[in-house]
Amino acid sequence: MTNVTFYFDFGSPNAFLSHRVIPAIERRTGAEFAYVPILLGGLFKLSGNQSPVTAFAGIKNKLDYARIEMRRFIERHHIDDFRFNPHFPINTLQLMRGAIAANEADVSETYIDRVYDDIWTRGLDMGQPDIVARSLNEAGLPVERILALAQSPEVKQRLLDNTQAAFARGAFGSPSFLVGDELFFGKDRLRDVEEEIERAAATAVT
């Protein structure tokens, strides 16, 4: 079975859209995507990158085309509940620490699904601690344990280490994917990711 590393930050709408497509790729290929939380702002600083909203603000038609491309992706994959968050950009530092803490508490999948949907389908301001706590509680997650773990030095350091490791592997934004040593960036590279999974599997058999 081929393992794929998915470097993600909840603040990226394209990472959310990738999250929605990944299960179908896993079913078709038998691959498993390992979700690795990173801090996108930290990765931007390491790589000298900027968010598209900032980087392309002065380029006529660029952001308009990005919206067209996003619409095409959404329609192709039948993602009918996506809504751009009215509170964007959201500070995701605590959420990303929480993702690592949720993994420690063995509730990673539920946590990731809940937070992604809260931001990109429900339009919640998940930069607000009280809203986060209420949402996690509604989802039946161990809120106190997650929040406590998220403040531990070990979890804080792991998020920094994940971000540094992503940069060392060549990443400069999210969503980024590693299939073996091959790096792919962006939701529109998921087709290439799937092809690389199949190529790697075929090579392993031969």
pTM: 0.94
Does the N-terminal peptide bond of residue 52 adopt cis geometry, omega within 30 degrees of 0? no
At 112 the pLDDT is: 98
The two tokens of residue 78 are: 């039948």
The two tokens of residue 68 are: 């067209």
At 70 the pLDDT is: 96
By 3-state DSSP, what share of the chain in percent is helix, strand and coil, each rounded to 5?
Answer: 60, 10, 30
Residue ranges for the chain with pLDDT beneath 50: none
The two tokens of residue 167 are: 């940069």
CB neighbour class for 88 (10 Å; exposed up to 12, middle 13-18, buried from 19): middle
Number of folded domains that form the chain: 1
Range of the domain at 156: 3-205
Name residue 1's amino acid.
M
CB neighbour class for 180 (10 Å; exposed up to 12, middle 13-18, buried from 19): middle
pLDDT in tens, 141-159: 999 999 999 999 999 999 9
Domain CATH number, residue 48: 3.40.30.10
At 206 the pLDDT is: 62
pLDDT in tens, 93-107: 999 999 999 999 999
Spatial distance between the Cα atoms of 56 and 60, rounded to a whole number of angstroms: 8
